[in-house]
A and B are shown apart, each in its own frame.
Chain A
Amino acid sequence: MKHKEFFRFETMLVCVLGLEILIFNKTGTNFGTQGNMFEVLRLSTEIGLLALVMTPVIITGGIDLSVGSMLGLCAVVMGKLWRDAGMPPMLAAGCTLVLGAAGGGLNALLITRLNLPPLIVTLGSFSLFRGLAEALTRGVDNFTNFPKSYLFLGQGYLFGVVPAQLPIFAAVSVAIWLLVHRTTYGRSFRAIGFSPEGARYAGIPVRKRLALAYILSGFVSALAALVYVARVGQAKADAGTGYELLAITAVVLGGASIFGGTGSVHSTLLGVLALAVLKIGLTLSDQPGELAGILTGALLLAVLTVEAVARKVSARPLRHSSAVKGI
């Protein structure tokens, strides 16, 4: 039955996406070009990465509001390590990734050891990480002039066409898809999402698995930060402001239940694409950016409403009881 639901949701998304593409092909200048197709993917990489890693978190019935701030913090740290500590970019990048994982670890610690609701914990670290980023740079500091070799990661093109960050995006997508859909970890995530207690009684190491989800989230956020810095060519404390909401939007648009248990990585990717295409398509159609925001919201509501109505029709009662877990 779950599969059926997914099926319905994915179809709906695919249609939306197809529709967008068709429309913008008409209205947008140079929309349907190969270059733009890659551009869409290129510009949605950071959000995409965050959304990807948000999926397992949401499947466990949790949420991570701190990814955007974590991106900012990691960007700054990357800059500091490279410029002030004089590390070679690769080493600095490595340390940054470790830091990301550590930050995720902090969330994980509070969530699993003190059984605090993820929303609250990550709301706190949301401010904390951003704050640290600003404190580290006294707000004004701005790291730039990274070596070409590193910038290539975000600005270069393989064979002149394929954006350099695309392989990373693809790799992470596949990795997380496998994790969620083909490993026992993914199975545990769902079990925890549906019923943490049930999972615990079945001998699933709930805390370990949750920790994994949040640490992973921190780690990939750091990775996104690296790509971001390379693409924008600068690291500043305000990097990635508001990305967390975009990522969550994409995941939910992808049909994951905020209450946990359900959700799939490929649908999340669809969600990411739907949003990116919308944004870029509108700009190419000479429409102001606000419209993208409005339509995003509208789209989200529309998709959810259709899904809810469909469910009402097929007379499957909504899960009142689980209304807590999500928030």
Chain B
Amino acid sequence: MTDPLLRLSNITKSFGAVRALKGVSLELLPGEVHALVGENGAGKSTLIKIITGAHQPDGGTIQIDGEAVTHLKPASAHAFGIATIYQQPALFPDLSVIENIAIALEKPSGTRLVRWDDRHARAVELLRRVGAEIEPETEVRRLSMPQQQLVEIARALGAGARILLMDEPTASLTGQEVDLLFALMRGLRANGVAIIYISHRLQEIFQIADRVTVLRDGETVGTRLIGSSQPKEAAIPGKTIAPPESDTFTHAELIHLMVGREVSALFPPAENKPGPQAFSVRDLGCRAAGIQGVSFNIRAGEILGLAGLVGAGRTELARVLFGITPADSGSIELGGKRLEVSSPRDAVAAGLAYLPEDRRRHGVILEMSIAANITMAILARLFPQNWMRFGTERALAQNYIRDLGIKTMSPETRVGALSGGNQQKVALARWLATAPKMLILDEPTQGVDVGAKAEIHKLIRQLAAQGMAVLMISSELPEILGMSDRIAVMRAGKITAIFDGAGADARTVMAAALGKQSNETSGFN
């Protein structure tokens, strides 16, 4: 039987008082895709950081090729052929794509001479392999999120990795790109590369993974073999690990393992009856954001899902609506009133709310308390004379902590200390506090664990039920399909189609999102 490339035995790691890992064990065989799942805060990312040598474990042993390894550092991890694709791309915004790829691949010794033409050639080659049309000279900060992801993947490919760690690589990718990625992964697997794959999108796991290890509260709950169509010789020894009855292994079971409880229906039923016309946009355009001739309307209590590939202009549209990049043509009406939105401030005043895509940078302020974050958007309204009244603030915060079930000791806790799901709830609470008429949600459940996901979905429904108009951007087609009353699809800065929620299915929506080549939809099943 093939020996595991990598064996972790009861790894422990604490940050201050927090015990992130309480004894995690994991075996990684050559040529397998090994999914790693668990709720946020379960310790997935910490585990990754330990394998890449970014963190040192407090206890437990790491074995690579059966050799015990101590003091794994990023540098030595490279040497062992460990490469990583992080959730937030770990790139150098000011440097060219060429250099970003090069620095990751070259030995990190300061005394080497730099051969620019070699670097260039390699960059071109790798970018071709990941099928990215990116000019290698461009500075990375000029690239879009998915483009940056592709650069990261190119890096990993170039590293000729034997062990490839992927921490939510698809977080900001859409169907087409995901399929491309999976194709790449299968190719690597065939060459005996072992892949650790982290994702919150369970269907992806069933689609690509051979085995799945579930973490909960920093402990290994179990490792299961995934019964799936691909033949996998490499994984057969894995059978000895996984108990036979787990051969037929379902979403439900997996979720059960993750949360330790049954999550009934992921998507709450739509019990709301959409009301009168609330929000309408007439051929909105913004050159800077690459938006043109966008028209749609949302009725009170209606959820309009906004689908499309990343880069189709969905987030850009949201930013235009919210006045972050003001529109230069077209009109926005809310409750029959025409709005002049030239800054987020105007938008808030007018009764718009925007839950941004990048929670950590835009959604919340990590260093500030929950209370401060919640009242941030309504300071002026809450304290018209500009005098803070901390009692009022605290009370308000506590209400939302209760209503949204934010898990925390006190409203004074730094948001940065919360789990992703709870952070997202705080971000949402901030906007609910403004009592908006129109709520724009951008990837509301991105990087949020299954449990919290369900709660947030339920919440969105309630809000709609209360008569709020909701525009929900999501790259997770199931979410779009499950939540939306109607679905708008964007492509290249335009709205290409609007479906009735009932009449839409993955195929039609993707077709609209992709334009012609509508066969590329296997990403959603």
Contact = CB atoms under 8 A, between A and B. Distances in A.
> A and B: direct contact (Cβ < 8 Å)?
yes
Interface of A: 1-2, 182-188, 190-191, 194-195, 197-205, 261, 314-316
Interface in B345-397: 345, 347-349, 354, 356, 361-368, 372, 376-377, 379-380, 383, 386-388
A261 B387 contact: no
B344 A184 contact: no
Given A184-B386, A191-B365, A201 B324 contact: yes
B458 interface: no
A191 B372 contact: yes
Contacts of B368: 190-191, 194, 261
B430 interface: yes
B377 to A, nearest CB: 5
B367 A194 contact: yes
A1 B343 CA distance: 33
B388 A316 contact: no
Contacts of A2: 367, 414
Contacts of A197: 361-362
Given A190-B368, A205-B345, A198 B361 contact: yes
B110 interface: no
B463 to A, nearest CB: 19
B386 A202 contact: no
A1 B368 CA distance: 10
Nearest to A198: B365
Tell me which of B15, B372, B388 has the highest count of chain A C-beta atoms within 10 A of its own C-beta: B388
Tell me which of B354, B367, B376, B430 has the highest count of chain A C-beta atoms within 10 A of its own C-beta: B367
5 contacts: A184-B379, A190-B368, A195-B366, A198-B364, A203-B348
A184 B390 CA distance: 11
Question: 3 smallest A-B Cβ distances: which pairs?
Answer: A203-B348, A202-B376, A184-B379
B336 interface: no
A198 B345 contact: no
A183 B365 contact: no
Contact of A203 (B16, B347, B364, B417): B347
A202 B344 contact: yes
Contacts of A194: 365-368
User: Which DSSP category, helix, strand, loop or mixed, fits chain A's interface?
Assistant: helix
Q: How large is the interface on B (under 10, 10 to 19, 20 to 34, 35 or more residues)?
A: 20 to 34
A183 B388 contact: yes
Nearest to B389: A182
A68 to B, nearest CB: 31
A146 to B, nearest CB: 37
Given A183-B386, A185-B386, A202 B430 contact: yes
A195 B386 contact: no
Contacts of A201: 324, 344, 354, 356, 362-363
Contacts of A191: 365, 368, 372, 376
A261 B367 contact: yes
A195 B361 CA distance: 7
B387 A182 contact: yes
Nearest to B17: A315
B388 A204 contact: no
A76 to B, nearest CB: 35
Contacts of A204: 345, 376, 379
A205 B376 CA distance: 11
Contacts of A184: 379-380, 383, 386-388
Interface string B428-443: 0010000000000000
Contacts of B16: 314-316
Contacts of A203: 344-345, 347-349, 376-377
Contacts of A261: 367-368
Contacts of B345: 203-205
Contacts of B366: 194-195
Nearest to A205: B345
A188 B380 CA distance: 11
A32 to B, nearest CB: 39
Given A186-B388, A198-B365, A201-B344, 8 more contacts: A2-B414, A183-B386, A184-B383, A197-B361, A202-B377, A203-B344, A204-B376, A261-B368
Nearest to B346: A203
B343 to A, nearest CB: 8
Given A1-B414, A182-B387, A201-B344, A187 B372 contact: yes
B379 A200 contact: no
B344 A195 contact: no
Nearest to B413: A1
A61 to B, nearest CB: 11
A187 B367 contact: no
Tell me which of A182, A198, A203 has the highest count of chain B C-beta atoms within 10 A of its own C-beta: A203
B365 A195 contact: yes
Tell me which of A184, A198, A316 has the highest count of chain B C-beta atoms within 10 A of its own C-beta: A198
A187 B379 contact: yes
A256 to B, nearest CB: 14
Contacts of B344: 200-203
A186 B16 CA distance: 31
A194 B356 CA distance: 18
Nearest to B361: A197
Contacts of B380: 184
A199 B430 CA distance: 12
B160 to A, nearest CB: 29
Given A191-B365, A199-B365, A203-B377, A315 B15 contact: yes
B307 to A, nearest CB: 23
A204 B379 CA distance: 9
A47 B520 CA distance: 68
A203 B364 CA distance: 12
Contact of B324 (A183, A195, A200, A315): A200
Contacts of B349: 203
Contact of A188 (B15, B362, B379, B387): B379
